[in-house]
Amino acid sequence: MNEEQRRTLLDADRRFVWHPFTQMKDYATADHVLIERAQGPFVYGSDGQRYYDAVSSWWVNIHGHNHPRINEAIARQLESMEHVMFSGFTHQPAIELASRLVAITPEGLDKVFYSDNGSTAVEVALKMSFQYWRQVGKTDKTRFVFLDNGYHGDTIGAVSVGGVDLYHKLYKPLLFATFQAPSPYQYRWPGNADAFVEEAVGAVEELFAAHADEIAGMIVEPMIQAAGGMIIYPAEYLRRVRDLCDRYGVHLIADEVAVGFGRTGRMFGCNHADVSPDIMCLSKGLTAGYVPLSVTLCTQQIYDAFYDDYDTVKTFFHGHSFTANPIGCAVALESLNIFDQEDTMRTVARLSAQLSEELKQFAAYEHVGDIRHLGMVGALELVSDRASRRSFPFQERIGQRVYQEGLRQGVILRPLGDTIYFWLQYCLTPEQMHDLFLRTHRVFQTLQL
Ligand SMILES: Cc1ncc(COP(=O)(O)O)c(C=O)c1O
């Protein structure tokens, strides 16, 4: 692309496009990065700059960009069918994918409901749980428990169970009533940090003890509260929440939209705690970051509460135009083939061990308050003062400064507030991972962190 084409496109972008999660005024004079192509762990700007995609393009990419096997799977699928509606009709890719997902997800998740992005997978989960309780005669069970710092998407139902004030607070007047439990966030736990799991579980139990008759389900991001700041918590918390849900008759909804498909070092976050949720949401890595697709899996018991004669009006009246898009299903199937045939989880284990070592080097920086790691995810929480754990003032936009310098150094480090994180692809070579971190060190040194 020549400079004139580049300029024309960027000017049109400024004129016509409204980007997500973006204060557009920031781009009144600055340009968005115009990406021309992507390959493996890299994306390439139109100015010739190469960037490590250290955030896997918003946590979706798994095996690398422009993967030959997945490209071929799409081409193959297009030879027969691009899309067909999914009510009254079905197709081989969707049937095969549902069977494969039931086989690899935790025991007891037997039915697969398709939709087309993470937020809709969550909407489906909430509506499914709510309707289940109505149809088994527990009509008071209408509310959901969610965690502070939890994030489940941007549609109104998902925002209702969202616990990140910056994104969610404004919309409060539009949202349904919920119960909020504390985030199992050890670094910023307000009580006894050594007993934070005990105390966090205790808070959930208090809620359940007082309100179980009104609570339909509790939604969690297993192992990592991602958008809330890459808050990694112990499997024990998840295990104990599962126990409480069993004891009090509450659905456990596992939102694995972000963490599913190996990101935590296990295929699913729930595997760490050896728990089966009642409902599980998957998207992002489901299609290895290629095309929008999502699923909500549930137990036979939930499914059975909807299964009746039509005139009992127990149908789940929910669906989307692009439900179970065949291209998406074919891509997801090929991604699972890659997992199997290339032993991807072994690669993940090896890369995860290296990531742990790379992250430790950041303890030397004065402004790194907390280092967190699980699987292919690492996070560095920046603080203005280590001893008091005081955050940087909001106006300083320290994360944004890291992001800008990261771009100059050829690494996409998209921060979450003051937390710089790494959400790495499984196609990285050890040398590439090391190079990515050398560049990140240069960012930290330049900004005197
Ligand atoms: C845990 C979790 N759930 C749901 C979503 C929403 O997914 P989508 O952006 O595809 O709507 C996200 C997105 O980041 C997520 O991290």
Pocket of ligand 1 (CB under 6 A): 117-119, 122, 151-153, 221, 226-227, 255, 257-258, 283
Mean pLDDT, rounded, for 256-266: 98
The pLDDT of residue 164 is: 95
The pLDDT of residue 289 is: 97
Going 391 to 394 to 398 to 400, the CA torsion angle's sign is positive
- For 286-333, the pLDDT digits (tens) are 999 999 999 999 999 999 999 999 999 999 999 999 999 999 999 999
Mean pLDDT, rounded, for 234-241: 98
Contact 408, 44 (CB under 8 A): no
CB neighbour class for 432 (10 Å; exposed up to 12, middle 13-18, buried from 19): middle
- For 74-123, the pLDDT digits (tens) are 999 999 999 999 999 999 999 999 999 999 999 999 999 999 999 999 99
Whole-number Å distance between alpha carbons of 285 and 448: 35
- In sequence order, what DSSP letters do the residues of 342-375 get, joined into one string? TTHHHHHHHHHHHHHHHHHGGGGSTTEEEEEEET
- 153 CA to middle of ligand 1, Å? 5
The DSSP 8-state label assigned to residue 17 in this structure reads -
Pick from 338, 353, 345: nearest CA to 288: 338
Mean pLDDT, rounded, for 255-283: 98
Mean pLDDT of the chain: 97
Helix (H) or strand (E) holding 145: strand 143-147
Contact 227, 161 (CB under 8 A): no
Pick from 271, 240, 274, 235: nearest CA to 256: 271
- 162 CA to middle of ligand 1, Å? 11
- For 275-285, the pLDDT digits (tens) are 999 999 999 99
- 292 CA to middle of ligand 1, Å? 11
Whole-number Å distance between alpha carbons of 105 and 136: 26
Contact 43, 64 (CB under 8 A): no
When pLDDT is cut at 50, 70 and 90, the band that residue 9 belongs to is very high
Whole-number Å distance between alpha carbons of 265 and 80: 36
Mean pLDDT, rounded, for 202-213: 98
Pick from 271, 277, 247: nearest CA to 108: 277
The pLDDT of residue 392 is: 93
Residue 47 has pLDDT above 90, yes or no: no
**Domain 33-66+343-446 is in which class?**
alpha beta
How large is the C-alpha radius of gyration of the chain?
A: 22
- 312 CA to middle of ligand 1, Å? 34
- 285 CA to middle of ligand 1, Å? 11
Measure CA of the first residue to CA of the last residue in the chain; give whole Å.
Answer: 37
Which residue of 119, 168, 280 sits with most ligand 1 atoms within 8 Å of its CB, as the best mutation to test the pocket? 119
Angle among Cα 100, 96, 93 to the nearest 5 degrees reads: 130
Which residue of 56, 253, 284 sits with most ligand 1 atoms within 8 Å of its CB, as the best mutation to test the pocket? 284
Point out the ligand 1 atom lying closest to the alpha carbon of residue 122: 4
The pLDDT of residue 332 is: 98
- For 360-380, the pLDDT digits (tens) are 999 999 999 999 999 999 999
- For 166-194, the pLDDT digits (tens) are 999 999 999 999 999 999 999 999 999 99
The pLDDT of residue 295 is: 98
Which residue of 21, 151, 294 sits with most ligand 1 atoms within 8 Å of its CB, as the best mutation to test the pocket? 151
Whole-number Å distance between alpha carbons of 326 and 79: 11
Which residue of 164, 257, 264 sits with most ligand 1 atoms within 8 Å of its CB, as the best mutation to test the pocket? 257
Going 16 to 22 to 26 to 32, the CA torsion angle's sign is negative
CB neighbour class for 21 (10 Å; exposed up to 12, middle 13-18, buried from 19): exposed
Fold classified for 70-341? Aspartate Aminotransferase; domain 2 (3.40.640)
When pLDDT is cut at 50, 70 and 90, the band that residue 45 belongs to is very high
When pLDDT is cut at 50, 70 and 90, the band that residue 381 belongs to is very high
**Backbone angle region of 47, left / alpha / beta, with phi > 0 → left and psi within -120 to 50 → alpha:** alpha
The pLDDT of residue 284 is: 98
Kind of pairing between the strands at 42-45 and 35-39: antiparallel
- In sequence order, what DSSP letters do the residues of 176-231 get, joined into one string? PPEEEE----GGG-SS-GGGHHHHHHHHHHHHHHHHTTTEEEEEE-SSEETTTT-E
Going 235 to 162 to 292 to 301, the CA torsion angle's sign is positive
The pLDDT of residue 414 is: 87
- 364 CA to middle of ligand 1, Å? 33
Mean pLDDT, rounded, for 348-356: 98
Point out the ligand 1 atom lying closest to the alpha carbon of residue 120: 11
The DSSP 8-state label assigned to residue 246 in this structure reads H
When pLDDT is cut at 50, 70 and 90, the band that residue 34 belongs to is very high
Point out the ligand 1 atom lying closest to the alpha carbon of residue 153: 6
Whole-number Å distance between alpha carbons of 292 and 286: 9
- For 402-426, the pLDDT digits (tens) are 999 999 999 999 899 899 999 999 9
- In sequence order, what DSSP letters do the residues of 79-143 get, joined into one string? HH-S---SSS---HHHHHHHHHHHHHSPTTEEEEEEESSHHHHHHHHHHHHHHHHHHTT-TT--E
Mean pLDDT, rounded, for 250-264: 98
Mean pLDDT, rounded, for 124-129: 98
Residue 322, both tokens: 């692009």
Q: Where are the domains of the chain?
A: 33-66+343-446, 70-341
